[in-house]
């Protein structure tokens, strides 16, 4: 076993604090990575605080990992010591079900092994995430990172990036389409960047008028304050696709009304309470309400390459690991532009 250090919550009500724990020795197909940066996701907060249920304690969160390879197993074919690498939301799957064979490991019929808080078939315990010094991962779940990349700003692409890239690609957002993005947070700002990069005419919907300048800088051509009924009504029946990134309760019918015939509203934000949908919001104009969950490994690599070629990164605020509890409180207040990233060199 390999001893390492990290930050963990020991109970749902305890703040994250230093922890020492063991990682497995690299298996023949494993890549061992020294973690340089780890993004901070809302999922980390919800899981560390037991808000989604079934949290396995101690919980070491973190699934937006960028680092450098320190060791490779004897059967590793595609990675070498010293190279940059990344790990996203998954570290394994069954490899054999219909979803895995189609490169959609996130939907693995036998249950994907997520980067933290999943049962670990190798150790018999559970997985620990990127708020730590190192990790060993099967090479099939390790991703390449450009040597020219801004590593800290690349880290959140492993969740916030793929979560927004995948649905825009899946529903074929392209030039000539009118695309809406609801919310300008960690997910939303990447949604705007990707939708604009795909050639869409992008409108941001926000409750915060002060975010308009940033939205335009990221690629939006129009900003609509969603609390303004008249502004919303002007947009009726005009959108091909709307990406909804908001995780708080809100009225989905208001956004369905903005879609053209055959338009699509896609949810990637997970509101804690069910949202009522009026049948005729869907029926009359033949609209679609859909959802999307991260992306498979091949698509995540495609997204990283797309970003590297076009210079697309997340907007980040760097923190030391000792500021993680403060960062969680600030996240709850939307007091970050637009994603926290931990400099893991701060973990002593």
Q: What is the pLDDT of residues 122-139, one digit of tens each?
A: 889 999 999 999 999 999
Residue 205 and residue 280 in one domain: yes
CATH code, 62: 3.90.180.10
Task: Quote the domain boundaries for residue 97.
Answer: 2-158+315-346
Residue 256 and residue 335 in one domain: no
The tokens for 211 are 């975010």
Q: What is the pLDDT of residues 217-245, one digit of tens each?
A: 999 999 999 999 999 999 999 999 999 99
**Residue 1, pLDDT score:** 83
pLDDT, average across residues 289-297: 98
124 located within any domain: yes
Residue 45 and residue 129 in one domain: yes
Task: Tell me the average pLDDT of the chain.
Answer: 96
305 located within any domain: no
CATH code, 180: 3.40.50.720
Q: What is the pLDDT of residues 60-81, one digit of tens each?
A: 999 999 999 999 999 999 999 9
Q: Rounded CA gap, 18 and 135, in Å?
A: 16
205 located within any domain: yes
44 located within any domain: yes
pLDDT, average across residues 253-257: 97
Residue 135 and residue 112 in one domain: yes
Q: Rounded CA gap, 136 and 28, in Å?
A: 11
Residue 7 and residue 148 in one domain: yes
Q: What is the pLDDT of residues 93-126, one digit of tens each?
A: 999 999 999 999 999 999 999 999 999 998 899 9
Q: Does pLDDT of 272 surpass 90?
A: no
Residue 221 and residue 134 in one domain: no
112 located within any domain: yes
Residue 204 and residue 269 in one domain: yes
Looking at the structure of the chain, the number of domains it has is: 2
pLDDT, average across residues 278-305: 97
Residue 8 and residue 153 in one domain: yes
pLDDT, average across residues 343-347: 97
Residue 150 and residue 239 in one domain: no
Q: Does pLDDT of 146 surpass 90?
A: yes
Q: Does pLDDT of 319 surpass 90?
A: yes
Residue 48 and residue 130 in one domain: yes
**Residue 271, pLDDT score:** 82
Q: What is the pLDDT of residues 150-180, one digit of tens each?
A: 999 999 999 999 999 999 999 999 999 999 9
- Percent of the chain at pLDDT > 90 equals 94
**Residue 270, pLDDT score:** 85
pTM: 0.96
Q: Does pLDDT of 273 surpass 90?
A: no
DSSP letter for each residue of 64-114: -EEEEEEEE-TT--S--TT-EEEE-SEEE--S-SHHHHTT-GGG-TT--EE
* E strand or H helix that includes residue 189: helix 188-197
Residue 180 and residue 139 in one domain: no
Q: 28, 38 in Cβ contact below 8 A? A: no
147 located within any domain: yes
Residue 150 and residue 259 in one domain: no
Q: Rounded CA gap, 221 and 335, in Å?
A: 24
């Amino acid at each position: 076993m390999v001893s390492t250090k990290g930050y963990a919550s020991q109970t749902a009500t305890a703040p994250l604090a230093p922890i020492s724990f063991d990682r497995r020795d690299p298996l023949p197909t494993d890549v061992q990575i020294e973690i340089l940066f780890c993004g901070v996701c809302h999922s980390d907060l919800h899981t560390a605080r037991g808000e989604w249920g079934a949290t396995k304690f101690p919980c070491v969160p973190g699934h937006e990992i960028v680092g450098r390879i320190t060791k490779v197993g004897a059967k590793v074919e595609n990675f070498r010591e010293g190279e940059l690498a990344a790990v996203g939301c998954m570290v394994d799957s069954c490899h054999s079900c219909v979803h895995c064979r189609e490169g959609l490991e996130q939907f693995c019929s036998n249950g994907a092994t997520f980067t933290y808080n999943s049962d670990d078939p190798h150790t018999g315990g559970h997985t620990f995430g990127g708020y730590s010094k190192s990790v060993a991962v099967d090479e099939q779940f390790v991703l390449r990172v450009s040597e020219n990349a801004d590593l800290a700003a690349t880290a959140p692409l492993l969740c916030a990036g793929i979560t927004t890239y995948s649905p825009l690609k899946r529903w074929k957002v392209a030039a000539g389409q009118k695309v809406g993005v609801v919310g300008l947070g960690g997910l939303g700002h990447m949604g705007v960047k990707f939708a604009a990069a795909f050639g869409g005419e992008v409108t941001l919907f926000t409750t915060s008028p002060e975010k308009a300048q940033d939205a335009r800088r990221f690629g939006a051509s129009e900003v609509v304050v969603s609390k303004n009924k008249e502004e919303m009504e002007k947009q009726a029946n005009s959108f091909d696709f709307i990406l909804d990134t908001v995780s708080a309760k809100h009225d989905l019918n208001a956004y369905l009304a903005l879609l053209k015939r055959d338009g699509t509203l896609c949810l990637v934000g997970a509101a804690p309470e069910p949202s009522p949908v009026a049948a005729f919001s869907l029926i009359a104009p033949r609209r679609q309400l859909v959802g999307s969950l991260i992306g498979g490994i091949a698509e995540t690599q495609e997204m990283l390459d797309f970003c590297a070629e076009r210079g697309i990164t997340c907007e980040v605020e760097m923190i030391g690991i000792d500021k993680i509890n403060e960062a969680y409180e600030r996240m709850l207040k939307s007091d970050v532009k637009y994603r926290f990233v931990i400099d893991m060199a701060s973990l002593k």
